[in-house]
Structures are given as structure tokens and as C-alpha cells.
């Protein structure tokens, strides 16, 4: 089946999509948002060094701080310019998760219509607070998507995060992780290593072994 959109004509590689769902509420102001921005830049730099991953890993960025925004639609890492995030407002986490899942479904349709194969998408949520909107429907949708193997959902709580609620949002098979301090750089280095491993796997093949989580987080119980 011939591909049509220029981005897929120029780069017909399989895609490995990930949506970063990032808390930019007022409580993230100061050192946390600075560390988060540095971590995103490290993520881009690390993945881009891998010749295969830089063409296969696609990233989108959804933020939630007062309002929910798609600050970056899907692009491959070599085209990704990390946004400079600012902290402000409340924590509409449920709406942000819904938007991330919607964008993934749209992107998968685009892949299919252009004859592009793709690996199971990731949603990677980072928050230091508690949702200020309704989140139950988003959680139910996450759980069903995991059951259907349509997405892999990861949640990371920064100091101050409502880990009890995060545990209800995250799939039962993957408990939320608690970030040690503001070690966002190590977190994103782990994410980049994971994306590189996934990007060289086989479509529909066995699950790829991910790098161990060491030095930046612990699993919540």
C-alpha cells in the first residue's frame, strides 16, 4: 500500500509513539519545572543519538496547568523541539489523559491510512499534585486500553503527588512510580533507553525487556 503524507514518504519507518502528559500546575513552579524542562531536553538528546530510534520514536506533549494544551503534536525525535514549560493554575489531569488517548487514536488511524506499522503506544504521566477535575472516566479508559493492549500507561508522582489517586488511574498491573527528589534527567534517560529498546523490536512480537528502574524512582504500593 503506497504511503501518501510527505512525512511518511520521507520516513516510512515503523513508529513508536509516546505522549508525555505533564503537570504544569502552579505547584510545579521554580525548581520542579526547571528540572522537568531539562529532563525533556535530555530525552530528546539521548534518543536522537540512536540512528533507528530517532526516525521511529514519535513524541507528543500534553500539559495540564490551569488549562489542558497540546503543546506538541506527534513528530519524530529528530523533528522535536522541546517546549519551554511554565507553571501556572490547577491540575485538570483527567481532561489531559483523555486528550492524550484521543490523540493516540487519531495518530493510529493516520498510520493505518498511510500504510505505516507501529508499536504499542505509551502514555507517560508526570504530576506533583491531585486532579482538580473528574478523573474516573479517564481512569476507566486507561484500564480498558491496557486490557485491549492498545496502550502502555505509566504514571510518575513527584513530591506532593496524590499517589492514592494515581494508583487508581494507573492500570492495576503497573503501579505508579514515585520520583526521588527532582531527578527528572535520570527519569527521561530511562524513558529514552526504553524507547530505543522498543524501536528495534518486532511489530507484534514479544514484549521487549525494559531497562531496570534504578536511581530515580521507587514503585508505589
Q: Which CATH number do you get for residue 109?
A: 3.40.50.410
Chain segment 45-102, per-residue pLDDT in tens: 999 999 999 999 999 999 999 999 999 999 999 999 999 999 999 999 999 999 999 9
Domain, as residue range, for 32: 6-219
**CA 181 to centroid of chain Cα atoms:** 20
Q: Is residue 70 part of a domain?
A: yes
Q: Is residue 75 part of a domain?
A: yes
Chain mean pLDDT for the chain: 92
Q: Is residue 97 part of a domain?
A: yes
pLDDT of 213 higher than 90:
no
Q: Is residue 1 part of a domain?
A: no
Q: Is residue 177 part of a domain?
A: yes
Chain segment 12-56, per-residue pLDDT in tens: 999 999 999 999 999 999 999 999 999 999 999 999 999 999 999
Look at residues 24, 74, 32, 38 and name the one whose alpha carbon lies nearest to residue 158: 32
pLDDT of 1 higher than 50:
no
Average pLDDT over residues 125-148: 96
Q: Is residue 57 part of a domain?
A: yes
Average pLDDT over residues 194-201: 89
How many domains are there within the chain?
A: 1
Q: Is residue 152 part of a domain?
A: yes
Q: How confident is the model at residue 202 (pLDDT cuts 50, 70, 90)?
A: confident
Amino acid at each position: 500500500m503506497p504511503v501518501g503524507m510527505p512525512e511518511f514518504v520521507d520516513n516510512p519507518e515503523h513508529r513508536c509513539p509516546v505522549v508525555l502528559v505533564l503537570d504544569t500546575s502552579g505547584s510545579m513552579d521554580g525548581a520542579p519545572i526547571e528540572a522537568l524542562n531539562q529532563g525533556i531536553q535530555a530525552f530528546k538528546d539521548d534518543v536522537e543519538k540512536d540512528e533507528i530510534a530517532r526516525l521511529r520514536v514519535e513524541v507528543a506533549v500534553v500539559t495540564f496547568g490551569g488549562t489542558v494544551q497540546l503543546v506538541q503534536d506527534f513528530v519524530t525525535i529528530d523533528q522535536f523541539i522541546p517546549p519551554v514549560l511554565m507553571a501556572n493554575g490547577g491540575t485538570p489531569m483527567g481532561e489531559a489523559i483523555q486528550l492524550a488517548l484521543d490523540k493516540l487514536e487519531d495518530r493510529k488511524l493516520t498510520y493505518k491510512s498511510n500504510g505505516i506499522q507501529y508499536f504499542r503506544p505509551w502514555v507517560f504521566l508526570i504530576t506533583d499534585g491531585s486532579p482538580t477535575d473528574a478523573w474516573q472516566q479517564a481512569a476507566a479508559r486507561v484500564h480498558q486500553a491496557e486490557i485491549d493492549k492498545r496502550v502502555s500507561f505509566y504514571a510518575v508522582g513527584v513530591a506532593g503527588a496524590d499517589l492514592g489517586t494515581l494508583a487508581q488511574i494507573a492500570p492495576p498491573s503497573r503501579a505508579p512510580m514515585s520520583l526521588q527528589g527532582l531527578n527528572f534527567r535520570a527519569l527521561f534517560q530511562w524513558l529514552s533507553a526504553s524507547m530505543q529498546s522498543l524501536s528495534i523490536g518486532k511489530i507484534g512480537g514479544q514484549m521487549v525487556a525494559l531497562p531496570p528502574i534504578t536511581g530515580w524512582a521507587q514503585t508505589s504500593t
